[in-house]
Chains A and B, each alone.
Chain A
Amino acid sequence: MSLVNFTTREITCKIVYYGPGRSGKTTNLHYIYGRVPDSRRGRMVSLATQTDRTLFFDFLPIDLGQISGFSTRFQLYTVPGQVYYNATRRLVLQGADGVVFVGDSQARQLDENLESLQNLQSNLLEHGVDIRTIPLVLQYNKQDLPRELILSPADLDDALNFRGVPSFSADALHGKGVFETLKGISELVLKKLAAGTAA
C-alpha cells in the first residue's frame, strides 16, 4: 500500500496500536472515536469477545479531508493483545505505516510489555520491516493508577524505550495523552512521507 498516491491525490496512513493484552489499545481508539466529528469518521469496527476483549482487531477510519490538495485518511487498527492471537497480529501489522506501542504502566506487567515489544519486532521482521526504520512511538498507559502500582514514565523509558523513540504517558480511559500519542505517530509517519515522496 502506498502511503501517498499522487495520481489519485490521496494520503492514507495505516497506524497500528500494538501492545500486551489489556494495555488499553482499544480504549485509545474509543477515545479518538468519541472526539472525531461524525462527518469525519467511519464506522468503528470492533470484533470483541463477550468479555469485551478484542478478538480480531479494531478498525477506525478517520477522514481528515483535503489537506494540501490530498484527501487524507488515517486508518487506526488495534491488534489483539493476547498471546495466542499472534497470527492475527501479524496480519494486522501488514502494511502498517506506523506503530503505537501501548504499554501497561503497571509494574507487574513489565514482562508482558517486554514480551510484546519483542513480539512486535519479530512480527515486523516477518514482513521484512526493521523495527528501527518504521515510525514507532511508545505510550505508557494507565499512568492514573496509584503510584505504588505503576512505574514512572522515566522508569518505563529505561526499561522499554531503548531505541529512544518518542514516548507519551497516558490515561486512555480519560483521554489524557491519547491525541498527543496520535499526533506523535502522525508526525513521524508524515515526515517519513516527506523523506520519501517518490513513493
Chain B
Amino acid sequence: MTSALNPKYSFDTFVVGAANRLAVTAGRTVAESPGAAYNPLFIYSGSGLGKTHLLMAVGHAAKKAAPKLNIEYLTLDEYVEAFHASVAAGQGDAFRRRFQNVDVLLVDDVQFLTNRKEMQSELLRLTEALQAAGRQIVLTSDCPPPDIADLDERLISRLSGGLVVDMGTPDYETRVAILRRKAEERGARFEPGVLETVARAEVGNVRELMGALNRLVAFQAVNDTSINAETVKQILGLGGGEGEGGAAPPGDGRAAAAAKSGGGDEFGEFLADVTVTVGKAVEAWRARVGEAVLRWEGEGYRTHRLEALLQRDAPAAVDDAIAAFAGDVERLKALEAEVADLDPQAAGQSVFRDPERLREAEEAAAKVRAGAAPPPGPSAAFPLAAFAVGPSNQVAVSAARAALERPGKKYNPLVLVGKSGLGKTHLLNAIGLELARGKRAVVACLSTQAFVDELIAAIDGNRVDWWRGRYRRATALLLDDIQLLAGKERTQEELFNLFNLLQDKDRQLVFTAPAHPNTLSGLEERIVSRLEGGLVAELKEPDRDVKRAVLERMLHQQGVNPEPALIDYLADRPTDSVRSLVGLLQRVVGAAAAQDGPLSAGLAREVLEGQSARDTRRSSGFRTSGLVVSSLGGIKSREKVVWDWIDVADRMIEEFR
C-alpha cells in the first residue's frame, strides 16, 4: 500500500542549489508547520531532479518536528491501487476515512491523474477535506497542474491554490556538490578534477549524474586504477565525440548533443574551457568574500554584511562592498583606539566590533569624547616644593604628605582649614600636582565656585550626565573653599553623591575651608559629617620659619640675593598671613624699583615705617617723644609719630615775617 519513507532521503542529504532553493525552502516551511503555510504545496520538475527526495524529506522533517503526526507518503499509483482495492472490497468509505485522518499527505507523481476521472474527483474530495481540517498536502508532478493533460478544472485550481514551485536542473556548482556528496556516501575517492569533469557534462538530471558516478565507481573498482580527468571523458564518452549509447544518455544533455553533432568536439572542448573559466571568474568573488569574512572574523569583527553577500547568488559590486566593509572596520578601529585612550571601559563596547552599527559607534565615541574632557586640574603655579613649611603648618603638610603616600587610603577626605592667606590653596594645588603625577591620574582640582558654575552650565546645557561622568572618572577631587557650597543645595547633592562614589573607590578627596567644617554655616549635615570623617588639619598663622622661607623664596624668584637683615626685619614684622607678608615684601620691592636702589633692611624700614635712613640712625637710642625707639623696630606706635616735618622751618619763618 503506502510506501515507507526512505530514511536516506532527508533534507540533510539534499543538495541545495539555485535551481531548487525555493522548493526546498517551501518544503522546510511546510514540514515545520504542516497545514499552516502553502497548502497544498505542489512541486514539479523534470524526472530525476529530486522531487521524491524532497517529498520524503518533508515527511522526515515533519515527523521529527512532531513525532505524533500521522504522515502518509504514497505515489499516485499506490493511491489508485489502494482505492480500487477498497472499492472492490466494498470498503470505499473506510478508504476515505483513512486518508482523511492523515496529518501530512505526500503524494508523488500526480501527473498520472491523466485520464483517471474517478481518481481526480476522489483526490479533489480528499484535498478539500484535508484542507478544511487544516492538514497538509504536498504533491509532486513532472509538470505544473494546468499542464497535466485532461485534469479537472476544479482540481487544477485547487492544486494551484497553495504554492506551485518548480525545481530546475542543477547548475554546474550544484552538480559538483552533488557528485562530491554522493562519492563521499559511497566512500569513493577520485583524483582532483574528475568529478568536475563529470559535472561539466551538462546532463539533464541528477539521476544521470548518479549513473555517471556509478560507472566511474564501478570502473575504478573493476580496474583497480584511479581515474583521472582524461580517462573520465573516455569512460563516460564525453567530449571524445564517441558518444556510445551506453555512456552518455541518448538525446539528453546539451553537451552530449553538441559532442555528437559531427566533429563538433572542438566546440565542445572550447565550451568546457569557457565553462571552467567563467566558473572561476564568476565564483571568484565568493572566494574573495570568504577571505574577507575569515580575516575580519579573526580580528573579532562581526561580518554579517559579508555573510549576507555570500547568501546571494550574484551580488553586484562585491569588491566595493568588501572595500566599504574594510573601510568601516578601519573607522571602528580608529574610534575604538580613540575611546580606549579616553575611557578604557567604554572601548570594550560591542558596537566597536560591528560595522553594521558604525553610526552607533560614532555616537558612542562622540559621547565619550564629550565626556572625556578632563575636569580642571591643579595649577602648576603651586608646586609642593615651593610650599614653606614651619611649625605653624607642620600638621597640615605632614597630613598632605601622608595622603600623597597612600592616596585615598590614609586621610580621606583631607580638609585643610585656616584663615585666608595661609597657603591652603597652595597646599591643595600642590597635593593635586603630586597626585597628577600618577599614571592614568585624572585630578580634578578647582575652586568650589568653579565647581558650582560648571554644574549650573551643565544643567543649563542639559548635560548633567556628562558633567557627572567627567568627575566620576577623576582619581582625585580637590575643592578649594568648600564653604562656598553654602546654600547651593543642588551642588551639595551632587557633591554628596560624587563624594560617596569616589570615596568608595578609594580616591583621594581634599577640601579647604576657612574654619572647621562644623562651624561653617549653610552646609548640609551629611556633607559636614563626611568632611569631618577624614582629617581636618589646621594651618595657623605663619611662624617666623615660614615667613623666612617665603621671603627667601620670593626674593630668590626675583633674582635678588637679599641681605639677612632684610629677611630678619620682614620676618619679624607682625603679619597674620603669608599673603600680607607677601604684600609687605611687594611694597618694599616696589619702592626699591622706584628709587632704583638696592633692597635693604633700611629701605624696607623706610617704606614700611615711613622712616628715612638718616632718621633711623638718629633715632636709635635717643629718647624722642618720650618713647624708646628700638633699632629693630617692631613698636607699632612709632609708626604713628611724625618724625619728619617737611619744610616746617620755611613755613615758620614765613609766618613770623
Contact = CB atoms under 8 A, between A and B. Distances in A.
Q: Which one of A32, A37, A194, A198 has the highest number of Cβ atoms from chain B below 10 Å of its Cβ?
A: A37
Interface in A41-94: 64-70, 72
A9 B314 contact: yes
A4 B277 CA distance: 14
A187 B281 CA distance: 10
Interface residues on B, range: 35 or more
Interface stretch (B65-73, B127-135, B262-270, B571-579): B262-270
Contacts of A70: 278, 282, 314
A37 B253 CA distance: 13
B385 interface: no
Interface string B120-143: 000000000000000000000000
Contacts of A9: 313-314
A186 B258 contact: no
Contacts of A65: 202, 254, 271
A179 B269 contact: yes
A183 B273 contact: yes
Q: Tell me what chain A mostly uses at the interface: helix, strand, loop, or mixed.
A: mixed
A194 B271 CA distance: 18
A68 B283 contact: yes
Contact of A182 (B18, B270, B280): B270
Nearest to B257: A37
A183 B274 CA distance: 7
Nearest to A41: B267
A85 B171 CA distance: 44
A175 interface: yes
Contact of A179 (B267, B285, B313, B316): B267
Contact of B316 (A36, A68, A198): A198
B511 interface: no
Given A35-B264, A35-B266, A64 B273 contact: no
A164 to B, nearest CB: 21
Interface in B246-267: 254, 257-258, 261, 263-264, 266-267
A175 B270 CA distance: 14
Given A68-B171, A70-B278, A36 B314 contact: no
A190 B274 contact: yes
B315 interface: yes
A64 B274 contact: yes
Contacts of B271: 64-65
Please provide the 10 A-B residue pairs with the shortest distance between their CB atoms, ordered closest to farther. A194-B281, A190-B277, A37-B261, A179-B266, A67-B278, A68-B282, A6-B314, A198-B317, A35-B267, A194-B284
27 contacts: A6-B314, A6-B316, A11-B282, A32-B267, A35-B266, A37-B257, A37-B261, A37-B264, A40-B258, A65-B202, A66-B171, A67-B282, A68-B172, A68-B279, A68-B282, A69-B18, A70-B278, A72-B274, A179-B267, A179-B270, A186-B273, A187-B277, A190-B281, A191-B277, A197-B319, A198-B316, A198-B318
Interface of A: 4, 6-7, 9, 11, 32, 35-40, 64-70, 72, 175, 178-179, 182-183, 186-187, 190-191, 193-194, 197-198
Given A35-B264, A179-B269, 6 more contacts: A9-B313, A36-B264, A65-B254, A72-B274, A183-B274, A193-B281
